């Protein structure tokens, strides 16, 4: 059975890797909500693990992807694919093999990160200006890991512009990638609306599944993206954090999680593991700030806690809303 038949027998819905946002705790919460709504994510992808000079020790992989300690899935059973970022093909292959030996269900390669610190060290989206190197990295990883482990790539439309999109497409075609995710903007365009979903069409000529990503904030956006990109597969990013029920609403508009039912998940988030309570509170406030775009109640709570530094006080305010 091909990977296309195995993983894409129906339209896939994925949770995106977002550095500093979809960390293990956030993945656990969001995948649990999706499962509770009856439309689990088909899989999620970890935050990128940067590969520089050597094969990373086990504890680094476990820190970024603790799901490897439980068969590569979250508590709700959602597989977590391990994403690597780097520019040296053999070293990327060796680290991909190490991740696979620790139980990674799949390896994803990051050619989309727009961060200056990453790009300045020849990683992420800057490699879109070096399609041959990008091809070599994917090929080296594909050759290094066992045949039953999929290898995918995530890209943008280009670096400064999309003028070399044909070269990028050919690099993917020659690489051996099992599927491709495309954030429908260039690095220069960052996260500024709009996303150019129609430009993904050029990649759908490839004989591998194509996943569309970028600026999907609600079910209507998802359907517009699907129509314009000519692919039925989508990866959800910030929209999924803002509305944790988005993954279910795409296929069932009546599948909604009200604020009241989201409170228990917020409390669970605040009770998650972290270096200290202030780190956890900061992470929760980040999430609450995003939830405020999707829930009026979140805006109200934000005004109450935006300067709060005591975790239990925040938990008490949430519990009070449960009645």
> The tokens of 196 are what?
């150019």
Is residue 306 part of an annotated ligand binding site? Answer: no
> The tokens of 104 are what?
């990674």
Going by C-alpha positions, the residue among 259, 238, 261, 236 that lies closest to residue 249 is: 236
Is residue 183 part of an annotated ligand binding site? Answer: yes
Return the number of other C-beta atoms located less than 10 Å from residue 316's C-beta. Answer: 11
Whether 113 sits among the annotated catalytic residues: the reply is yes
Is residue 215 part of an annotated ligand binding site? Answer: yes
Is residue 154 part of an annotated ligand binding site? Answer: yes
Is residue 93 part of an annotated ligand binding site? Answer: no
Q: Tell me the chain's radius of gyration from C-alpha atoms.
A: 19
| Spatial distance between the Cα atoms of 289 and 300, rounded to a whole number of angstroms | 11
Q: Are 52 and 84 in contact (CB under 8 A)?
A: no
| Spatial distance between the Cα atoms of 125 and 203, rounded to a whole number of angstroms | 17
CA atoms within 13 A on the CB side of 232: 6
| Spatial distance between the Cα atoms of 187 and 112, rounded to a whole number of angstroms | 7
* Stretch (H or E) spanning 260: helix 259-270
Conformation bin of residue 255: beta by default, left when phi > 0, alpha when psi is -120 to 50: beta
5 CB-contact burial (10 Å; exposed 0-12 / middle 13-18 / buried 19+): exposed
Is residue 224 part of an annotated ligand binding site? Answer: no
Is residue 83 part of an annotated ligand binding site? Answer: yes
Q: Are 109 and 100 in contact (CB under 8 A)?
A: no
Catalytic residue among 65, 68, 106, 113: 113
- Strand duo 151-156 + 107-111: pairing: parallel
Annotated binding site: 83, 154, 183, 213-215, 237-238
Annotated binding site for FMN: 83, 154, 183, 213-215, 237-238
Looking at the annotation, which residues are catalytic?
A: 113
């Amino acid at each position: 059975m091909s990977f296309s038949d195995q993983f894409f027998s129906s339209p896939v819905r994925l949770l995106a890797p977002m550095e500093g946002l979809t960390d293990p705790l956030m993945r656990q919460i969001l995948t649990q909500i999706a499962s509770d709504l009856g439309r689990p994510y088909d899989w999620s992808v970890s935050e990128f693990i940067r590969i520089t000079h050597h094969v990373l020790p086990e504890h680094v992989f476990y820190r970024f992807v603790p799901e490897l300690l439980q068969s590569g899935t979250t508590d709700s059973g959602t597989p977590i694919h391990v994403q690597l970022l780097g520019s040296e093909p053999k070293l990327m292959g060796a680290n991909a093999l190490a991740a696979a030996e620790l139980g990674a269900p799949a390896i994803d390669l990051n050619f989309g990160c727009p961060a200056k610190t990453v790009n300045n060290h020849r990683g992420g989206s800057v490699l879109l200006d070096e399609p041959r190197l990008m091809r070599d990295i994917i090929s080296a990883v594909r050759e290094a890991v066992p045949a039953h482990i999929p290898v995918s790539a995530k890209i943008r439309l280009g670096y400064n512009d999309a003028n070399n999109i044909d070269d990028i497409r050919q690099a993917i075609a020659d690489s051996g990638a099992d599927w491709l995710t495309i954030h429908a903007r260039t690095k220069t365009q960052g996260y500024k609306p709009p996303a150019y979903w129609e430009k993904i069409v050029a990649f759908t000529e490839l004989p591998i599944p194509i996943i569309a990503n970028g600026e999907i904030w609600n079910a209507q956006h998802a359907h517009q993206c699907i129509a314009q990109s000519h692919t039925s597969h989508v990866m959800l990013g910030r929209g999924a954090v803002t509305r944790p029920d988005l993954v279910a609403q795409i296929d069932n508009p009546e599948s909604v999680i009200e604020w009241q039912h989201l409170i228990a998940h917020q409390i669970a988030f605040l009770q998650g593991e972290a270096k200290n309570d202030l780190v956890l509170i900061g992470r929760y406030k980040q999430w609450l700030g995003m939830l405020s775009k999707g829930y009026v109640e979140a805006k109200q709570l934000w005004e109450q806690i935006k300067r709060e530094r005591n975790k239990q006080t925040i938990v008490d305010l949430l519990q009070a809303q449960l009645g």
